[in-house]
Structure 1
């Protein structure tokens, strides 16, 4: 029951996140029947597992309205942007029932923050050196923690603002919403490409005799049918993210402490640098580190789903503390163990080094293979694709991953461009538009009427 409760909490947050992009669906009108079929599957699951669905139906019935329950509930539960809920008498019931506890919200936030970027953090420190690497790490951690709290202040101006897209509309109108929708789409596409590159690289570690392109094509054949599944099945894979990241950090520590000679030992670290060995790759380091803290698209949904929203800031702080510890452990240990020989994915360095437990490291690599396989469909879910278009998009993503096969470049682009806009720039711009100042940390009495 406890596990079901936590999964239900994450599933609710994921559905609110998906509503950010429903107005930017890539599905053709001719494929509406197939999409409706998938939505009906989702509706059926919600009917059996959530009191939210029951209370919503009950509200329509007790008010004596003649409503087609199946069609109306599907529309409300799958298209609950503010503009689509004006016909319901109390659409805020969608976010007032079945809410998450503080612990569940913290779990969801950590699950959103901890991602595949963890694999590239030791390489980011290699590119930047200790001084700039650690400084950039804490700058990204503190600044994105700060902007996550700014989102709460902006959301509090209108209790009917439910999602990141709604916030964009509230601050900058329809143009702002379209712009954020475009950034979301680019962010999701780039993230999906990075996931596919990671799957291919990880399988190459496990099966070095096979061609990398063939492995990616096999991954396409395995992943694509999973993208056809309803979201309620995919939400059960949400636990993999945290479990994989924690396992990687633990195995890295075990490897480093059980090996006593370089390379790959914490007892005898490799040569490292205080400053970047090449200043030309410094921007790459910033993108890699910033991509690790890119969960802001989901934070409005997490906030609205909290049973005790007054604890939001403390929850954000706790989530960032846990995430920061996991990330910093992997980044520092990985760079100490492999130094200038650190590869773009720390698993590549681990598996290519003699003296470790092959079984333990293989288990972690398999977890890293399975994790993208689970997250890839979740990444495409907000775009609301039909089966045919989902297959086509998956093929395009695999093609992009084959043409541009470097994981560090994909993650750096994700962090320095799309994630930086969503996680750092846009929350401050929203605050500027709503409150007339970027000095969000100053007390309101010092800011005057503006």
Structure 2
């Protein structure tokens, strides 16, 4: 397989290796980690361990495929552009729909995590109340450039590391269950059944569903030749964190673990309440560190589809336009300002719709299972391999096996999520 190291794009971005690594890791870690113990409860120790490492390997493989395809053609700006090149213009609406559905689902999950975490900390108000007011704080995040979002991503990674440390401290500080590593709760070696296993497919896969952002990350990297190395480290970090949280959380709370393990930490007596409260507050920050990064490719795709494809990434960009164009082509200038205004409005509307959907579908594990089973498998596994086969004309035996097994898991997991 050719590496993206051989690609020399005509135009590089501004983000360094470290900034891109922070963005990539923050995109992977933080979304699915809270439901990892529940995924192990559904799949059991043996199948769960196999699934999490298998998904990580395959997802990393397909991320490199996307980066190679993107960097090989300077005309490609988004995931939808890859689909258009591979499947033709007729497939563009469907590809764009699936792409937007995954990113929108991620946004809904982020809003749900934000509301549930605040409700656990301050139960006097409902989760929906915090979601509604959170809209005011989330809207500015969709106008920040990737270079600035890398710093907010550090906060998301910090909250993740803190959660891992707190889980260990809680588990070791308590001698009796539930919630103790010295007195593990009942667990299973094998899966609990056909439907729970299908849900586990989605819960495990949802943690590795950051491929929709790959075009933005690859294009914005100052040295794209380092992308493969960056994404390797990103997936190694994410897989280690997911496995640790899944193992420890499952041991501590067993088959009765909640949709979000953070809720169990705050609700179980016998822990250091101040430490767990600090952990929950950091988890409140996580959606803010990821919301803007996740919504950037979503908004870019929507703007292209509706004809508002003049790029805006920050409020400062709204004032940037060569005087030459505005002075010599007044009509063009008026049209450009109108598009910019509509682009701002579009981003606000999409953010508001994410909050509305989260209020309408408040179940965290259901959204995560659907996100992983349908959207993540289709966008992150099946799509990149099919694009590679059609564009490069190369299909290995490994690609065939992944496509076949992945298609079965899409159907199985999606049905199980609805059930």
The TM-score with structure 1 as length reference comes to 0.70
Provide the residue aligned with 1:436 in structure 2: 393
Report the Cα offset of residue 284 of structure 1.
1.2
Where do 1:308-327 residues align within 5 Å? 309-327=224-242
- Asked if structure 2 preserves the Cα contact closer than 8 Å seen for 1:223 and 1:377, the reply is no
Are residue 420 (structure 1) and residue 335 (structure 2) matched? Answer: no
Provide the residue aligned with 1:122 in structure 2: 37
Are residue 167 (structure 1) and residue 124 (structure 2) matched? Answer: no
Distance of aligned partners of 1:377 and 1:339 in 2 relative to their CA distance in 1, 3 Å threshold: same
Report the Cα offset of residue 345 of structure 1.
0.1
Distance of aligned partners of 1:296 and 1:317 in 2 relative to their CA distance in 1, 3 Å threshold: same
Q: Which moved more, 1:338-347 or 1:412-421?
A: 412-421
2:357 pairs with one of 383, 400, 410: 400
Provide the residue aligned with 1:296 in structure 2: 211
1:94 pairs with one of 11, 23, 45: 11
Report the Cα offset of residue 350 of structure 1.
0.6
Larger Cα Rg: Structure 1 or Structure 2?
1
Report the Cα offset of residue 435 of structure 1.
3.2
Once superposed, what is the RMSD of the aligned Cα atoms? 2.7
Provide the residue aligned with 2:99 in structure 1: 184
Report the Cα offset of residue 158 of structure 1.
3.6
Q: Indicate the SS of the match to 1:298.
A: helix
Q: Indicate the SS of the match to 2:88.
A: helix
Alpha-carbon distance in 2 for matches of 1:427, 1:178:
17
Distance of aligned partners of 1:387 and 1:303 in 2 relative to their CA distance in 1, 3 Å threshold: closer
Provide the residue aligned with 1:380 in structure 2: 295
Provide the residue aligned with 1:219 in structure 2: 134
- Asked if structure 2 preserves the Cα contact closer than 8 Å seen for 1:228 and 1:387, the reply is no
Provide the residue aligned with 2:55 in structure 1: 140
Distance of aligned partners of 1:116 and 1:126 in 2 relative to their CA distance in 1, 3 Å threshold: same
Q: Indicate the SS of the match to 1:320.
A: helix
Provide the residue aligned with 1:108 in structure 2: 23
Q: Indicate the SS of the match to 1:366.
A: helix
Are residue 265 (structure 1) and residue 180 (structure 2) matched? Answer: yes
Provide the residue aligned with 2:307 in structure 1: none
Provide the residue aligned with 2:153 in structure 1: 238
- Asked if structure 2 preserves the Cα contact closer than 8 Å seen for 1:224 and 1:390, the reply is no
Report the Cα offset of residue 266 of structure 1.
1.4
After superposition, the C-alpha distances for 1:157-189 in whole angstroms (9 at most, x for unaligned) are 545545433322322232344333222211122
Alpha-carbon distance in 1 for matches of 2:21, 2:139:
31
- Asked if structure 2 preserves the Cα contact closer than 8 Å seen for 1:224 and 1:391, the reply is no
Q: Which runs of no fewer than 5 residues in structure 1 stay unpaired?
A: 1-91, 443-450
- Asked if structure 2 preserves the Cα contact closer than 8 Å seen for 1:291 and 1:416, the reply is yes
Alpha-carbon distance in 1 for matches of 2:128, 2:91:
39
Distance of aligned partners of 1:299 and 1:185 in 2 relative to their CA distance in 1, 3 Å threshold: closer
- Asked if structure 2 preserves the Cα contact closer than 8 Å seen for 1:223 and 1:376, the reply is no
Report the Cα offset of residue 127 of structure 1.
1.4
Provide the residue aligned with 1:286 in structure 2: 201
Alpha-carbon distance in 2 for matches of 1:412, 1:215:
23
Report the Cα offset of residue 136 of structure 1.
1.4
Distance of aligned partners of 1:321 and 1:380 in 2 relative to their CA distance in 1, 3 Å threshold: closer
Are residue 207 (structure 1) and residue 164 (structure 2) matched? Answer: no
- Asked if structure 2 preserves the Cα contact closer than 8 Å seen for 1:122 and 1:334, the reply is yes
Q: Which moved more, 1:233-242 or 1:251-260?
A: 233-242
Provide the residue aligned with 2:262 in structure 1: 347
After superposition, the C-alpha distances for 1:34-73 in whole angstroms (9 at most, x for unaligned) are xxxxxxxxxxxxxxxxxxxxxxxxxxxxxxxxxxxxxxxx
Distance of aligned partners of 1:304 and 1:198 in 2 relative to their CA distance in 1, 3 Å threshold: closer
Alpha-carbon distance in 2 for matches of 1:423, 1:205:
32
Q: Which moved more, 1:227-236 or 1:290-299?
A: 227-236
After superposition, the C-alpha distances for 1:323-353 in whole angstroms (9 at most, x for unaligned) are 1111111111100110012000010111111
Distance of aligned partners of 1:343 and 1:166 in 2 relative to their CA distance in 1, 3 Å threshold: same
Are residue 411 (structure 1) and residue 368 (structure 2) matched? Answer: yes
Alpha-carbon distance in 1 for matches of 2:143, 2:231:
31
Alpha-carbon distance in 2 for matches of 1:376, 1:258:
34
Q: Indicate the SS of the match to 2:212.
A: coil
